[in-house]
Structure 1
Amino acid sequence: MSFKICIIGAGSVGFTKKLCSDILKVPEFTGIEIALTDINDHNLDMIRQIIETIVKVNGLPAKVTATTDRRAALAGARYVMNCVRIGGLEAFESDIAIPLKYGVDQCVGDTICAGGIMYGQRGIAAMLEFCKDIREVAEPDALLLNYANPMVMMTWAALDAGGVRTVGLCHGVQNGHRQIARALGVEGPEEVDIICSGINHQTWYLDIRYKGAQISRDALVAAMEAHPVFSQQEKVRIDVLKRFGVYSTESNGHLSEYLPWYRKRPEEIGDWISLDEWIHGETGGYLRYCTENRNWFEQDFPKFLEEAAVPLAGPRTDEHASWILEALETGRVYRGHFNVRNGGVITNLPEDCIIESPGFVDRFGINMVEGITLPMAAAATCSVSVNVQRMAVRAALTGDVDLLKQAMLHDPLVGAVCTPEEVWQMVDEMLVAQAEWLPQYAEAIPAAKERLKAPKVKTRNWAGAARLGVRSVEELRAARAAKEAAAGEGHGLGTKVMG
């Protein structure tokens, strides 16, 4: 088989290596071309060296190209993967820091909440450019596999305004699946069957089965609360499970910022989070994690290149991309959870929204399982986010500042913390700080600057309820070694399955 895959934002070095390694393990994919493109020439060169090394060491008949010319990379591509973070860590920093001045404490800030909404404004502006290039120079009817957050907003914009066949891909369902298996004391997630449905990062395990027997809510609560690690790390998820009756795909930190109840009082945030890993609720945790990893990779690149020279071995990861391409090209059926237009897949969510739900892939495309109904509480929570996403997407497509502010006002956590006047001023401040990545707001930003000369609300210099400092590479190495040692000692911790 000979076809071309283009990866936009390939400078996400670790993730690009994982995607490419999976693709290169598909036996039929001989003679393919992987075209890497990024605006960061330095990162692009690093990932080029790594992927070329993998191809050479394994004697694979694949071609690897790398260029900062996106249209050249897209020319003739059958599949396009989008892995960009528009604005990089600089814009990400303001996604976290500015809302903190108004009392909005986020762990991640990449899906909804203040940071996720602004991330979407930056990403959608770029997504429209990507789609234009795909329509003009890629293979006809090319498929865009979007990995970039905010997943829903980016996929929604590509489908509504980009004119490109698009599916959104995330690994939240797989991560939660593995965690549930561990909590139940099961050797591997393949022994546990799941049906998971909702919207990205608010997807719910509606049915969990082990050896054909359904795992009840009470059994899952008991397993999570008995687990020595999860009981401390996942307090928000366990609480929501008890109240909603279904478990969320998302980490404790992610879920806590999508809801109005757990991060609105600074003095209570600590009751719901864990600081042992960033993903469990730390203020700005993902920003710290990304910053540390960038620094680590810069220093340890020779080591990563050495690791790439080890022959490929073992099975592919559970990232969807390679499995989808394999199914489309060979007809071997693949079941996964995909982000697509609803259109009746979930009966109690709006038709136009982007949902994440089970589907099957074969030569005929991605075929979703229709007629799923969410529990009412889960549907209500998703619906609130859908309305925020819809307004945010429309604002990004039109440059409508009023609609952007209305989207921010209706965000669950922002609305729980801020007054309307605070929201209006916070959005002005974020628009000004991120102006270089927001071309659709170019005409509105001068007025925002003027308004900020006479602020109507006071802000504060606040680091958040649980902010940790960025560690040095040496500290990271020591922490990783300690974690690996602890993992070895604690191997097999868990509870027995309960029906």
Structure 2
Amino acid sequence: MARIVFVGAGSVEFTKNVLSDILTFPELGESTLVLHDIDAERLATAEAMATWMIAKLGRGAKVEAHLDRRAAVDGADYVINEIAVGGHAATRVDFEIPRRYGLRQTIADTLGIGGIFRALRTIPVMVALGHDLAELAPGALLLNYTNPMAMIPRAVYQGTSFQRVVGLCHSVRDTQARLASLVGLPPEEVSFVTAGANHQAFVLRFEHRGESLYPALDEAIARDPELRRTVRVEMYRRLGYFPTESSEHGSEYLPWFLHHDDQVAHFRIPVEIYLRWSEENLDTYEETRRRLAAGQGVEIEPAMELASEVIHSIETGTRRVVHGNVRNGGLISNLPDDACVEVPCLVDRAGVSPTRVGELPPQLAALNQTFLNVGELTVRAALEGRREHVYHAAMLDPNAAATLTLQQIHDLVDEMIAAHGDLLPEGVR
């Protein structure tokens, strides 16, 4: 059976969701589940959780737990990456220093100053993982969940010889379900084509039996003033295609919202909401650890996680379409070949096969390009050890550019580099 490795398994809530799926698929119930984390306590918690779930479900799966990453990935068939380099402490830095400069953020993990520095912390670890996989598991499939998604897979396929990497994100699937609900149809009856950059993809086709559903969406928006007070609906009105990212997250990739008090109020943008979520995650972890120690276990409920569905499709031949983040290479013809783009992918025994989308509408490609420019410069900064490209990435970031002067951006970057220290690539430090 498959050898499925969880890198960053100490993210126990996410690990629980994927394990719930894998262990309730009869065809995957005998897999070898390999857990890796650099935090011994969290690794032990994840191991206890996996062992309890297997016993509860009566499966024959085997569990291994490794503090050493190379031992974990040796011979892997699938590697699910869910690391958060620096953890909650680094996340606090990503918010607290920019706040002092007057820079607002909401999630700070995809673009902006927070996204840039999350990438700079994560890329060295991911490049090392890519080298390990090229040596120890060249046929493995690396399924990445860690943000910033447009940067992390790109760093692996540009910085190592390992190319079998696909980024997975819920945003497209959740958006498609939301749109179907707004027009009163089951998602399975609606035809979608969605593509772009991760967290800035757009619904290019939204149809029922060959007829566009965008007029029905317009009617739903016209009936609901609360919908009109969301960033994603505002961007749909301006660009003509519905964006996949949530309003709170999408606001920080753009120059038009967070710098203006009236826009924050009108569109109800929850500034720094991720800090609250991160603190809640710490509480969830402690509760999980307490329950396991008391022999109470955890809730086992299939979550339809994309990684588990991809693995199930490859192992069984069950055909599914998921949206994957992969090297462009002409899939979207008016975005750069080396960019990491999000497109529909067919998954079956042959693996993950991306779909060629062709040209995006020019206004969408132009907006994606501003998004991808920041990512390219950040990846170059990390892979080439060039500190100046960190300044360049921050200068071109839409939210930072709309809020700060060039000198403020330079000073902010210097302070962030000093604060994150050894977590960053040596050349950047």
Q: TM-score range by the shorter chain?
A: over 0.9
Match of 1:270 among 252, 259, 265: 265
Once superposed, what is the RMSD of the aligned Cα atoms?
1.9
Q: Mapping of 1:177-326 within 5 angstroms? A: 177-186=176-185, 188-216=186-214, 218-227=215-224, 230-232=227-229, 235-273=230-268, 281-299=269-287, 301-303=289-291, 308=297, 316-326=302-312
Corresponding residue SS for 1:61: coil
Q: How far 1:255 moved relative to its partner?
A: 0.7
5+ long unaligned stretches in structure 2? none
Contact 1:221–1:242 (CA under 8 A) maintained in structure 2 = no
The superposition leaves residues 169-195 of structure 1 with CA deviations (integer Å, 9 ceiling, x where unpaired) of 111111112221222233x43333311
Contact 1:57–1:309 (CA under 8 A) maintained in structure 2 = no
1:141 aligned to 2:129? no
Give the TM-score normalised by the residue count of structure 1.
0.81
Q: How far 1:300 moved relative to its partner?
A: 5.3
Q: Mapping of 1:98-497 within 5 angstroms? A: 98-137=97-136, 139-164=137-162, 165-186=164-185, 188-216=186-214, 218-227=215-224, 230-232=227-229, 235-273=230-268, 281-299=269-287, 301-303=289-291, 308=297, 316-441=302-427, 445=429
Corresponding residue SS for 1:167: strand
The residue that corresponds to 2:14 in the other structure is 15
The residue that corresponds to 1:67 in the other structure is 66
**Residue identity matched to 1:438:** L
Contact 2:183–2:213 (CA under 8 A) maintained in structure 1 = no
The residue that corresponds to 2:43 in the other structure is 44
> How many angstroms apart in 2 are the aligned matches of 1:385 and 1:87?
24
1:228/1:178 CA distance change after superposition, 3 Å: farther
Contact 2:334–2:360 (CA under 8 A) maintained in structure 1 = yes
The residue that corresponds to 2:81 in the other structure is 82
Contact 2:22–2:29 (CA under 8 A) maintained in structure 1 = no
> How many angstroms apart in 2 are the aligned matches of 1:389 and 1:309?
38
> How many angstroms apart in 1 are the aligned matches of 2:86 and 2:291?
28
**Residue identity matched to 1:407:** A
Q: How far 1:149 moved relative to its partner?
A: 0.6
> How many angstroms apart in 1 are the aligned matches of 2:191 and 2:44?
41
**Residue identity matched to 1:250:** E
Contact 1:26–1:322 (CA under 8 A) maintained in structure 2 = no
Give the TM-score normalised by the residue count of structure 2.
0.94
> How many angstroms apart in 2 are the aligned matches of 1:134 and 1:163?
9
> How many angstroms apart in 2 are the aligned matches of 1:319 and 1:437?
29
Contact 1:125–1:440 (CA under 8 A) maintained in structure 2 = no
Q: How far 1:228 moved relative to its partner?
A: 7.2
> How many angstroms apart in 1 are the aligned matches of 2:290 and 2:181?
35
**Residue identity matched to 1:106:** Q
Contact 1:113–1:412 (CA under 8 A) maintained in structure 2 = yes
Count of matched residue positions in the alignment of Structure 1 and Structure 2: 427
Q: How far 1:263 moved relative to its partner?
A: 1.2
> How many angstroms apart in 1 are the aligned matches of 2:322 and 2:416?
37
> How many angstroms apart in 1 are the aligned matches of 2:304 and 2:122?
26
The residue that corresponds to 1:481 in the other structure is none
> How many angstroms apart in 2 are the aligned matches of 1:360 and 1:322?
15
Corresponding residue SS for 1:317: coil
> How many angstroms apart in 1 are the aligned matches of 2:61 and 2:356?
38
> How many angstroms apart in 1 are the aligned matches of 2:221 and 2:340?
30
Corresponding residue SS for 2:408: helix
Q: How far 1:326 moved relative to its partner?
A: 2.0
> How many angstroms apart in 1 are the aligned matches of 2:254 and 2:219?
24
Identity %: 37
Corresponding residue SS for 1:243: helix
5+ long unaligned stretches in structure 1? 274-280, 446-499
Contact 2:21–2:304 (CA under 8 A) maintained in structure 1 = no
Contact 1:123–1:154 (CA under 8 A) maintained in structure 2 = yes
The superposition leaves residues 381-405 of structure 1 with CA deviations (integer Å, 9 ceiling, x where unpaired) of 1011111111110001122111110
Q: How far 1:308 moved relative to its partner?
A: 4.6
Corresponding residue SS for 1:42: helix
Contact 2:319–2:348 (CA under 8 A) maintained in structure 1 = yes
Q: How far 1:359 moved relative to its partner?
A: 1.3
Q: How far 1:229 moved relative to its partner?
A: 5.7
1:225/1:34 CA distance change after superposition, 3 Å: farther
Q: How far 1:211 moved relative to its partner?
A: 4.7
Contact 1:51–1:308 (CA under 8 A) maintained in structure 2 = no
Corresponding residue SS for 2:150: helix
Larger radius of gyration: 1
> How many angstroms apart in 2 are the aligned matches of 1:222 and 1:13?
42
The superposition leaves residues 264-289 of structure 1 with CA deviations (integer Å, 9 ceiling, x where unpaired) of 2235322222xxxxxxx311111211
Contact 2:227–2:233 (CA under 8 A) maintained in structure 1 = no
Q: How far 1:231 moved relative to its partner?
A: 4.5
> How many angstroms apart in 2 are the aligned matches of 1:144 and 1:431?
29
> How many angstroms apart in 2 are the aligned matches of 1:230 and 1:272?
10
Q: How far 1:348 moved relative to its partner?
A: 1.4
Corresponding residue SS for 1:28: helix
1:28 aligned to 2:27? yes
Q: How far 1:65 moved relative to its partner?
A: 1.6
Contact 1:221–1:238 (CA under 8 A) maintained in structure 2 = no
Contact 1:398–1:440 (CA under 8 A) maintained in structure 2 = no
> How many angstroms apart in 1 are the aligned matches of 2:411 and 2:102?
13
1:374/1:308 CA distance change after superposition, 3 Å: farther
